[in-house]
Amino acid sequence: MSQASSVSTAGDPAREPLTRRDALQGRRSDRAALDAILAAVLARIDANLAVFTDAFPAPSSVDGVYPAIDNIEWTNGFWTGMLWLAYEVSGQERYRQAAERQVRSFKDRVDRRINVDHHDLGFLYSLSCVAAYKLTGDLEARDAALAAARLLLARYLPQAGIIQAWGDLSDPDQAGRMIIDCNLNLPLLYWASQVTGDRDFADAADRHIAQAARYIVRPDSSTFHTFFMDPVSGAPRVGKTHQGFSDSSCWARGQAWGISGFPLVHRYKADPSLLDLSARLANYYLNRLPSDLICCWDLVFTGLPHERDSSAAAIAACGLLELARGLPLSDPDRAAYEGAALATVETLGARYMLPPGAPGTGVLDHAVYHMPNRVGVDEACIWGDYFFLEALVRLTRVWEPYW
Ligand code: GLY
């Protein structure tokens, strides 16, 4: 894997000017208000702990309540990640004990290869087993995460320089498809490289992030959801949406995965162009928000009657904070990114939280899982709950990511 892997993009265009920069950079945080929202999220975790210790929340709720599922989805790590965050902020053993039971389930899942034929191993294992290893030194968790990283590396297509997102590698319909969401799966590879000293993990991640920057990010700094490469010749083929409005529109959650994933990769691969890329995506995203800063599910829409996606807003808030952390103090938009993240979290806390309800009730209402298939529309989505809590932790503490 010796091909150049520095990140450069189509002509490296400039960031769009931020239309609301003055308003955003003036935001000041109210620690007591953030602590109150955090306490409400922990109370929701407590209310759900009995249901979701030996079972997991489904990806999206039904009438606000998550059905209980086995460890079979791409989303199971988010709840375990919430348990680890709750343990970190509270020190309460009940969260650690529940998280550790789930870590055993993740070990079993990778040992028995249960639904691991996709790239979402990073989402699954960074937030469960890598978190366990970082917080408690659990060696069994480390080994399970390394096994997951090896499966992820096996999806690397050397000619195309990408990790294939979905499907068996012999499936012609999925051949050579990368997706923007994969930015959040790459930290598992970088972590595995650090732990083992094996450069192959990091080299694959370096190539993938460079290809994502080159082909998934469009010249106007919007993003394709997915992009096909020719797995044999390595040539770029075509951008396609999967969960967005159209092939040429910008799926809001994809943009949020981009805003957050490029700076997370920057933690491992110090390359300032990753921050510049994230900033370009951030300005495109921030300039297309409704007035309360909670995005519609696709950025082609900017208000009613179109559904919001609170989960994308929560991801973007974490991404903006990660971006601001990496940028120099002199960056003209840095304070606006912090202000936008804060305002997003405050709005989510004030207007988008589900009230207490039956066991299994989600945290954030008004998310969208898959609009084209009408799945999880105007419901809670478990990754939205996770990133909302992660954003609250980032805003109230110095925090070392599980990513
Ligand atoms: N990674 C899949 C999704 O965001 O729906």
Question: What would the DSSP string read from start to end of 238-277?
Answer: EEE-SSSS-TTS-BHHHHHHHHHHHHHHHHHS--HHHHHH
Distance in angstroms (rounded) separating the CA atoms of residues 297 and 378: 10
pTM: 0.97
Q: What is the pLDDT of residues 19-48, one digit of tens each?
A: 999 999 988 999 999 999 999 999 999 999
CA 179 to ligand 1 center in whole angstroms: 10
Nearest CA-CA partner of 274 in 188, 203, 183: 183
Taking the CB of residue 178, how many other CB atoms lie within 10 A of it?
Answer: 26
Chain length of the chain: 403
Task: For ligand 1, atom 1, name the residue with the nearest CA.
Answer: 181
Identify the residue whose tokens are 């000041």.
28
| Averaged pLDDT in 10-residue chunks for the chain of 403 residues | 51 88 92 98 98 98 98 98 99 98 98 98 99 98 98 98 96 97 98 98 98 98 98 98 98 98 97 98 98 97 95 99 98 98 98 98 98 98 99 98 98
CA 312 to ligand 1 center in whole angstroms: 10
The catalytic residues are 120, 181
- The best mutation among 181, 184, 379 to test binding of ligand 1, ranked by most ligand atoms within 8 Å of the C-beta, falls on 181
Taking the CB of residue 236, how many other CB atoms lie within 10 A of it?
Answer: 15
CA 35 to ligand 1 center in whole angstroms: 29
Distance in angstroms (rounded) separating the CA atoms of residues 311 and 348: 10
Nearest CA-CA partner of 387 in 55, 78, 91: 78
Q: Which domains are present in the chain?
A: 21-396 (1.50.10.10)
Sequence-separated (6 or more) residues with CB below 8 Å from residue 32: none
Distance in angstroms (rounded) separating the CA atoms of residues 52 and 38: 19
- What residues does ligand 1 touch, defined as CB less than 6 Å away? 181, 243, 253
Nearest CA-CA partner of 75 in 85, 62, 60, 54: 60
